[in-house]
Amino acid sequence: MIVCLAVVGHQNNPLYIQSFTEADDALKLHHMVHCSVDVIDERVDNPKKSGPTINETFLGLLCPTENYKVYGYLTNTKVKFILVTTDLDVRDADMRTFFRRFHAAYVDAVSNPFHVPGKKITSKTFAERVATIVKSFGLTTTG
Amino acid sequence: MEPDASIETSSMIRVAVLPIAGIPPLLFRDYAAMLLRHHTVSLNSISSFYTEHQKSPFANQPWESGSLRFKFILGGSPPSPWEDFQSNRKILAVIGICHCPSSPDLRSVANQFAAACKSYSSSLVQRCFAFCPGDSQLEEESNKGSNLVLFPPADRQTQEFHLQTMVQDIAASLLMEFEKWVLQAESGGTIFKTPLDSQASLSSEEVIKAKKRRLGRAQKTIGDYCLLAGSPVDANAHYSTALELTRLTADFFWYAGAMEGSVCALLVDHMGQKDPVLEDEVKYRYNSVILHYRKSFIQDNAQRVSPLSFELEATLKLARFLCRRELAKEVVELLTAAADGATSLIDASDKLVVYVEIARLFGALGYHRKAAFFSRQVAQLYLQQDNKLAATSAMQVLAMTTKAYRVQSRASSEPASDAGQSYADGGKMHHHSIVSLFESQWSTLQMVVLREILLSAVRAGDPLAAWSAAARLLRSYYPLITPAGQNGLASALANAAERLPLGTRCGDPALPFVRLHSFPLHSSQIDIVKRNPAREDWWVGSAPSGPFIYTPFSKGEPTHNNKQELTWVVGEPVQVLVELANPCGFEVMVESIYLSVQSRNLDAFPVSVSLPPNSSKVITLSGIPTKDGPVSIPGCIVHCFGVITEHFFKDVDNLLIGATQGLVLSDPFRSCGAAKLKNAHVPNISVVPPLPLLVSHIVGGDGSVMLYEGEIRDVWISLANAGTVPVQEAHISLSGKNQDCVVSVASDTLKSALPLKPGAEVTICVTLKAWQLGVMDADAAASKGVPGTSGKQVKDGSSPMLLIHYAGPTTNPGKLQMGSVPAPGRRLVIPLNICVLQGLSFVKARLLSMEIPAHIGETYTKLVKSRSDGTAQENGSERSDRFMKIDPYRGSWGLRFLELELSNPTDVVFETSVSVEIENPINKESLSDRTCAEFGDPKTRIDRDYTARVLIPLEHFKLPVLDGSFLTKGSQMDGITGGRSSSFSEKNIKAELNASIKNLISRIKVRWQSGRNSSGELDIKDAIQAALQASVMDVLLPDPLTFGFRLAKSSSNNSANLNPPKQADMQVYCASGGSIIAHDMTPMEVLVRNNTRETIKINLSVTCKDVAGENCIEGDKATVLWEGVLTGIIMEIPPLQEIRHIFSLYFLIPGEYTMSAAAVIDDANEVLRARARTNSSDEPIFCRGPPFHVRVNGTA
């Protein structure tokens, strides 16, 4: 189950951060997302280490913690998508598909002429669409 | 679990360093620092202190390259339960440090040290270092044999050398002790136990097991000692045995320990060289260490003790060993595992240490956010311990995280160089500040961190840190905090401030937000003008003279440059406007706020302000420059919530830029409803040495001068030099609207008063003449009909301004070098506030004509006589002027008056008088008195709310200008003079006539006076012109023919000179003075003058009528005898000539008669026709003279 999704901007500023849990652990998830930026930063800064995957947008598992797994995705505009999930065994392929769908939603959201690049995404449509994607992800993995 | 653990830790000898006998903490720290330098002592250096008592068990000790390592533990530590397991955990030596001057009794020192050593049972060597002993102490014998080592007073270097020697001595003693211990252990049957082993009384099974395991454990421990003794090869040998034995006895815990020792021995052997093979080896072995520690986990005593801490420690040791960017992934995995494992640690302090280490390692890797996260975990663990020290630690740990979360205190984050940057380049944002703005969006996390800092600071009793955290929290996140929360923070600030000493400074500003509003330009009173030394009139073009700051016509460049500069003068107060905003829900009391000046040449004056909730205010901050040079004002010093903080304008500017880009939560000024401000321009401010300063005031009050329209009044302006430098030069000029109302300025008075010393004063006189109010104003006032209130306040800017450019001495006193820029000059603008009231108002002008036939009487004769005497020498035109007088006895025909109707809507009485200026200077003398007498004296008084009429005889001002040429021109009516073509052009005539009318009108003045000191002149030029326009020709132009009569008797005397040029002038001169007598032949002559330039043929006829109007000359009842031709007299008059026709009359009956002459012009040209306004060309033109009275007396 995906518990948190975040879009982190070019300057490591959060553009969108949404948790999908009932529990009051938003702070914890925020911290997790915030810390994951470190890992992404490191990968962005040392591209030669990730040699063959230079054009790969999917960053894979960023940091496995006790109960969560954090996956990352980097767009070519250096916008980061960070996903926190409680599913401990997720196939990378599923994750890629998910991120691709999420990326499409993000592109649509920022294509809105009223959206100011660099500002937080406040579009309700985007939020709804993301919620749908998250829900369907849960279905495909469990089902 | 211990902090700072690394693989090499196993090879370090622990030494407790204890303060003895009340040594002052600072000194203890100082001496300890000296000691700490000797953490590694080479075996080479201790050989001289070493004596081999028996065969050393460390067979392979590397005496040349090896060394002993010390780990000094300041203040010592309690014994660890795991001492047996890892010998390096034992305190093997104790060093006491004492300061002799503070503890004179060495014996008691020795006793105290001995007592302190008792708690370190494991220690093998004890020494007490006593520094700075006195002579008596040195001589004291009692310390011989004890562990006391005296360091005689010496310089630092000597002391350090002494200390090094002593440490080497200790090292040698320790080495010998280790040898002893190892030899004992090899032979003895010591049982090594750890808390993991059952503490209960040993069951037989346990005993057997323990015995089996003893050998392995002993080998491991000997290995430990070998390692401590700096002999890795020996250690490795023992560890290998130990590994073998422990594996056989399934003593996994000790197996792991031996493995750890072997890795350490490996590293020590390699002397810190790192190659990939070694690294792999270490990794492999350590993974096995970790695995075996995990294996040694025994469920039975898991509640009490667990090898987990060793597992984690090993993990961290490996992570520390691998901690490099290239291996980040592995390290992160290790650290993540450690962090996961830490959650199941029982001991809170162990957990703390793990988190501290994790945070440090992440930080070393460059994972600052993760480091911050774990630091926060540490802080939370500290906060769980409810004591002050823990809270202080928590606070310090949190303070370290602030950088990663971008909420750091400015005091810690900003280096001095950044603060030193001048504000002038603040237009661009620094990269750092942009990033911090971006990152500042993690507000959820940031607020939590700040809140925890606040909490820990409050608990730790650090009011300044608490204040700073609360200030940061409030300032950055007020939009996310509820009003109640804001109030809580405000009270936190207040509480913290209460505990702080007065005048505490804090690097982090709280509220309010302060931004630069504007630098007010100099008031026009003290404007500074650059002085161009090359020009005498340096002020020209140097300053805007009009109401516009920018003129498109002025040269662009100099003004453009000037715009950015602001000049302040030493000793003259200056002002800067700043805007304060309080976006929070409580009232902010700013106890004082003043400009912060880095250049230290401005004395700023504090102001106290109170800002209601959600409000903003623009306030004026002032100061006095004290020294010349540039000034930079980066911000304000604010004393608010009990603490002094510096608020930089730059920060708020960045914040506002961030707000526009959506990076910052909210714009504090906008949320307070403050108007949007353009980015305030910060000029380069420079302070110049003192300049003179003129202060003006209008004598009798600085208010508006109330003047009635046309009023002329003198205004006295007093100028005082309020500066400290004399005014050397001054120049007065005018500017603004209605400049022509300033009639004269007594600039000579000012010039003569120069140089104006400081404090000196001069009064100059300015003569003003009020201008006319606009038609609209006048109409409005008239329609209202309210007397006295009609003087509406004129709109601003309609008054003229007096500009005084002045300057002090050219060279600055004390700065006499050549080529220096002269001290600037100044400009004083004195607005002449003139309030023009509606005065006497003009209602209408009318042209009146009047006919007064001339008649002869006694008085008349006298008058004529007297006049002819007085003007005997004067020419004709002069004399004819006389005829213009309005004199009922003299009479005038076709006399025209201009009647001016004036009304007085004011509440004062006006008296008007009409005067005519005579242009001809010759006339002036003779006529001026009469002018006054006739037109000046009879003043017309116009009461309030009344109208009055004033008559102006137009003849009067027509004649003086009707000299020969004009007369010619006028009579010809086509401007032949000046070589113009003779073709008739009405337009040209008009134009020329208008010009002459204007000329005429300008000489007529209607002056008025009201009360004692109001007097002025009525501006009625336009009105007169309008009135005259219609009948201008009738007024100004003579008829083509002028007729006159006179008695022929007198003609012999002066008729030759007589030249009555005017049609209306008709006189009968009686030379004898006697009257015409009936029954007597009266010779008369009719004079006809041609006023044109062409010869005119006329058919003249003379008519005489009696009182009854009967024709006396023809008809049946003729009462007049005649001689000569009286009708059909054909004459031809040459141009501008006069022809006389003599005839005689014989009156039969005495009485009144009227004579008149008339003529029909033959062959009239176009000029005449135009003058006569005939319609058709064949219409005869008939000219008729004015009637002329003849009184015929009866015979006596």
Which residues, in sequence order, are CB contacts of B1050 under 8 Å at separation 6+? B1069, B1070, B1071, B1072
Q: How many CB pairs under 8 A join A and B?
A: 67
* Cross-chain residue pair A37–B369, CB shorter than 8 Å: yes
Task: Characterize the bridge pairing of strands B12-19 and B91-99.
Answer: parallel
* Cross-chain residue pair A14–B373, CB shorter than 8 Å: no
What are the pLDDT digits (tens) for B731-790? 787 777 777 777 777 777 777 877 777 777 888 888 877 777 665 544 444 444 444 433
Is there a domain that residue B557 lies in? no
- What CA–CA distance (Å, rounded) separates B495 from B488? 10
For a pLDDT cut of 70, what percent of chain B falls above it? 68
**B1024 shares a domain with B901:** yes
Out of A34, A38, A49, name the one closest to residue B442 (CB).
A34
**B437 shares a domain with B315:** yes
What are the pLDDT digits (tens) for B712-724? 777 888 888 877 7
B435 pLDDT more than 60: no
**B135 shares a domain with B85:** yes
B562 pLDDT more than 50: no
pLDDT the model gives residue B577: 81
**B714 shares a domain with B675:** no
Is there a domain that residue B257 lies in? no
Smallest CA–CA distance, residue A29 to chain B, in Å, is 10
**Most confident stretch, B131-145, B163-177, B185-199, B415-429:** B163-177
Tokens of A121: 């995404």
| Residues, chain B | 1196
**B994 shares a domain with B937:** yes
Could you tell me which residue, B653 or B1056, shows the higher pLDDT?
Answer: B653
- The amino acid sitting at A42 is E
- Number of Cβ within 10 Å of residue B754's Cβ equals 15
**B1008 shares a domain with B895:** yes
Could you tell me which residue, B437 or B651, shows the higher pLDDT?
Answer: B651
What are the pLDDT digits (tens) for B32-87? 888 888 888 888 888 778 777 777 777 777 888 888 888 888 887 887 777 777 77
Contacts of A39 in chain B (CB under 8 A): 332, 367
Question: What is the mean pLDDT of the segment spanning B1083-1104?
Answer: 77
What are the pLDDT digits (tens) for B440-478? 577 777 888 888 888 888 888 788 888 888 888 888 788
Is there a domain that residue B179 lies in? yes
**B476 shares a domain with B355:** yes
pLDDT the model gives residue B887: 42
Helix (H, G, I), strand (E, B), or coil: what is residue B1057?
coil
pLDDT the model gives residue B814: 45
**B668 shares a domain with B531:** yes
Question: Which of B131, B154, B187 marks a domain boundary?
Answer: B187
**B921 shares a domain with B997:** yes
Q: Indicate the pTM of the whole model.
A: 0.62
B434 pLDDT more than 80: no
Among candidate residues B168, B144, B147, B150, the one with its CA nearest the CA of residue B70:
B168
Question: What is the mean pLDDT of the segment spanning B249-273?
Answer: 79
Question: What is the mean pLDDT of the segment spanning B192-199?
Answer: 65
What are the pLDDT digits (tens) for B1058-1071? 443 333 333 443 33
Contacts of B362 in chain A (CB under 8 A): 38
Is there a domain that residue B1001 lies in? yes
Task: Characterize the bridge pairing of strands B1151-1162 and B1096-1106.
Answer: antiparallel
pLDDT the model gives residue B512: 82
Phi, psi of B662 (to 5 degrees): 80, 15
Architecture, CATH, for domain A2-136 = 2-Layer Sandwich (3.30)
B946 pLDDT more than 70: yes
**B1118 shares a domain with B998:** no
B1160, B1192 contact by CB (below 8 A): no
Out of B336, B343, B370, name the one closest to residue A64 (CB).
B336
**Most confident stretch, A96-110, B616-630, B793-807:** A96-110
**B1045 shares a domain with B1031:** no
Contacts of B662 in chain A (CB under 8 A): 116, 118-120
Estimate the share of chain A in helix, then strand, then coil, as percent rounded to the nearest 5.
45, 20, 35
Please give, one letter per residue, the 3-state secondary structure of B84-153.
CCCHHHCEEEEEEEEEHHHCCCHHHHHHHHHHHHHCCCCCCEEEEEEECCCHHHHHCCCCCCCCEEEECC
* Cross-chain residue pair B373–A119, CB shorter than 8 Å: no
Q: What is the CATH number of the domain that holds B1155?
A: 2.60.40.10
Smallest CA–CA distance, residue A85 to chain B, in Å, is 17
B423 pLDDT more than 70: no
Phi, psi of B427 (to 5 degrees): -60, -40
- What CA–CA distance (Å, rounded) separates B902 from B900? 6
Question: Which of B187, B210, B238 marks a domain boundary?
Answer: B187
B432 pLDDT more than 70: no
* Cross-chain residue pair B336–A120, CB shorter than 8 Å: no
* Cross-chain residue pair A11–B343, CB shorter than 8 Å: no
Domain count across chain B? 6
Question: What is the mean pLDDT of the segment spanning A85-92?
Answer: 77
Out of B325, B339, B369, name the one closest to residue A34 (CB).
B369
Instruction: Report CA B265 to chain centroid distance, whole Å.
Output: 72
**Most confident stretch, B263-267, B405-409, B1039-1043:** B263-267
Contacts of B663 in chain A (CB under 8 A): 13, 118-119
Out of A12, A35, A116, name the one closest to residue B662 (CB).
A116
A111 pLDDT more than 80: yes
Q: What domain range includes position B1046?
A: 1041-1193
pLDDT the model gives residue B863: 33
Is there a domain that residue B264 lies in? no
Question: What is the mean pLDDT of the segment spanning A80-88?
Answer: 82
Which of B445, B450, B452 would you mutate first to test chain A, the one with the most A CBs within 10 A?
Answer: B445
Out of A11, A26, A38, name the one closest to residue B367 (CB).
A38
pLDDT the model gives residue B964: 37
The interface predicted TM-score (ipTM) is: 0.85
Tokens of B116: 């302190």
Could you tell me which residue, B1111 or B365, shows the higher pLDDT?
Answer: B365
Out of A12, A26, A65, name the one closest to residue B439 (CB).
A12
B983 pLDDT more than 60: no
* Cross-chain residue pair B439–A37, CB shorter than 8 Å: no
Question: Which of B187, B219, B243 marks a domain boundary?
Answer: B187
Could you tell me which residue, A55 or B1050, shows the higher pLDDT?
Answer: A55
pLDDT the model gives residue B871: 34
Could you tell me which residue, B135 or B227, shows the higher pLDDT?
Answer: B227
Q: Which residues of A touch B (CB under 8 A)?
A: 9, 11-14, 26-27, 30-31, 34-35, 37-39, 42, 46, 49, 63-66, 116, 118-120
Is there a domain that residue B148 lies in? yes
**B699 shares a domain with B662:** no
Among candidate residues B140, B143, B139, the one with its CA nearest the CA of residue B128:
B143
pLDDT the model gives residue B213: 75
Which pLDDT band holds residue B134 (cuts at 50, 70, 90)? confident
